[in-house]
Structure formats: structure tokens, C-alpha cells
Amino acid sequence: MEPFKIHILGCGSALPTLRHNPSAQVVEIREKQFLVDCGEGTQLQMRRSKIGFNRLCAVFISHIHGDHCFGLIGMLSSFGLLGRTMPLAIYAPKELKPVLDMLLETFCNDFDYEIQFHAVDTKKRAVIYEDRSLTVESIPLKHREPCAGFLFREKPTLPHIRRDMIDFYHIPVSQINNIKNGASWTDEDGNVIPSNRLTRPADPPRSYAYCSDTCYLPELHKQLEGTTCIYHETTYATEDAEKATKYCHSTAAQAAQVARDAHAGRLLLGHYSSKYDNEQVLLEEARAVFPASELTREGMVVELK
């Protein structure tokens, strides 16, 4: 099975603390790396996690609150200083573009790589990125600024070849792809061996949903049905539900409701308010609703299977 990992670089909220960095993650799928949000200090966190700058092929920014994008211009500058030549795609709400253009013109106007900006419509679900192995969809969220989540989804793969059967029937290597695509094989005695005897079922496609800052959305689970793993902001505990409503955030219990109703495989908690010296209260609250809940922490690597 090919790697599908989430590197947690920051899981705090707006006010930086000595315990947590602002929001940032790297999603690694089949040797491709995608940065999701870029709070202050993200490039330092990438170095600590030994994530190579040159392997990053796209950046996804959920919204333009500073704890989700203050680290972007510094990272782009470092890419230029390191001699990057490969284009970098940035997917973000359209409101970021004039700010980014001004910063690039001021600080990053002589670099050798192209920045390709793609405006994300935060009001509709759409495929915004696609390659041979995966798609990334935007997920409408509700916050104080236009905001979108992102759903990374593997494309189905072909069945696995059974090497013992290939050797037994002396099937040439040139026919392996045909067999994976459903072709049968006729042996020298005229016996037809169907493809399903020569292969094992393909690995089920995995998926990861990043739900950034948002108030609780009772219908959100419908867009995340069956997701392998969901990251959902859990800024507050239920005792601070009024604050969550006021600032368009979610409680840990509400995040767990989304994961439970979506029949997700697991839930990652993050975007903790700085008021909590210990996030255990958030974990306990979430697990009471959805047992497969986990706290994120800086340096954590989550592997999807």
C-alpha cells in the first residue's frame, strides 16, 4: 500500500503559545506533498519534521485569518532563496490574491519559480485539484471569513497481481497490465484462467478531510460520508459553547458528532484555544460521542491504512 500520511505542523488557534504552533499540515500521498494552511512558523516546523521544501507541489489555504496564512510569504521567500524552479500552485479564497500579490511584489519579485494562484469558491463543493492518483475537493464551511475545507481522496487502483499464479502459468510480464485491467489468460492447453484468479483485490481508496475553522454544520457529515479520517477544528469545550457560537467555531463534542454521523474511520482534533493548558477535556468530550477521536500535536505523523 502506498503511503498516505498527515504531518501535523501546528494545531493551535489564533494566539500562539509555547505549546502549540498555528495551523499547518502536510498531506503526503504517493510521494507527493501538499501543504494545508500555513500559520506563522510553518517553514521552521517543516524543517523540524524533515519535510523537503522542493517536494511540495501545492498549497491549500482555508481562509485568510492570520493563524492560517501568516507563514506563507516567508515560506515562498525561502523557496526562492533555495533556488526553486518548479511551479507552485496555491489554492485559496479569492480574497487572498490582492494581499499575496502585494507581498510578492514587495519581497519576492526576482525568483525563478512561478506561483500559480487558483481561487477557491468557498460556497460550493468542487474538485479543485486532480492528478493521476488523487482528487482534492473544496468543502464549504461557515466562519467569520469565507472558508473552505479540503477533501483529499485517492482514486481507485488496479488489483494486485498474484506473482505465484503468474509464475505457475508462465505468463509474460507484458501481459500483467492487461490482466490487472480484467483480461483473462489462455494457457498452452487452451484453458482460460480468469483475471480474478490471477489477482488480489485492490486496496480500498483512502480519504482525508481537513475541516478548518467553522461553526457546527449539522449537514456537513453528508459531504464527508465514509471518510477514512477527518480533521475537524475543536477550539472549545462544551462549557464554552457560547464562545464557539459567537466566533464561529466548534466544540469537541460537535466535531465528534460530524465524524460519527459521517461514519468516519477516525477523528483528529485540533485548533485548540490557548485557554486550555491541557486538551484532555476536549479529548474526553469527543470520545464520549465518537470513540475513535485523537488529539493532534506538533510533530505527529498520522498514517492512513
pLDDT confidence bin for 23, thresholds 50/70/90: very high
pLDDT at 8 over 90: yes
Q: What is the value of pTM for the model shown?
A: 0.93
Q: How far apart are CA 226 and CA 262, in angstroms?
A: 6
For 26-80, how does the pLDDT look when each residue is reduced to its tens digit (9 = 90+)?
Answer: 999 988 999 999 999 999 999 999 998 888 999 999 999 999 999 999 999 999 9
Evaluate whether the domain defined by 4-157+203-303 bears CATH number 3.40.50.720. no
DSSP secondary structure string, the chain?
---EEEEEEE-B-SS--SS-PPSEEEEEETTEEEEEEE-TTHHHHHHHTT--GGGEEEEE-----HHHHTTHHHHHHHHHHTT--S-EEEEEETTHHHHHHHHHHHH-SS-SS-EEEEEE-TTS-EEEEE-SSEEEEEEE--SSS--EEEEEEEPP-PPEE-HHHHHHTT--GGGHHHHHTT--EE-TTS-EE-HHHHEEPPPPPPEEEEE-S----TTHHHHTTT-SEEEEE--B-GGGHHHHHHTT--BHHHHHHHHHHTT-SEEEEE-B-TT-S-THHHHHHHHHH-SSEEE--TT-EEE--
Backbone angles phi, psi at 7, to 5 degrees: -100, 115
**Which residues are documented as binding site for Zn(2+)?**
63, 65, 67-68, 143, 213, 271
**pLDDT for position 232:** 98
Q: How far apart are CA 11 and CA 123, in angstroms?
A: 25
**Which residues are documented as binding site?**
63, 65, 67-68, 143, 213, 271
> What mean pLDDT do residues 262-273 have?
98
For 249-261, how does the pLDDT look when each residue is reduced to its tens digit (9 = 90+)?
Answer: 999 999 999 999 9
Q: Which residues are catalytic?
A: 67
Residue spans in the chain of domains classed CATH 3.60.15.10: 4-157+203-303
For 217-246, how does the pLDDT look when each residue is reduced to its tens digit (9 = 90+)?
Answer: 999 999 999 999 999 999 999 999 999 999
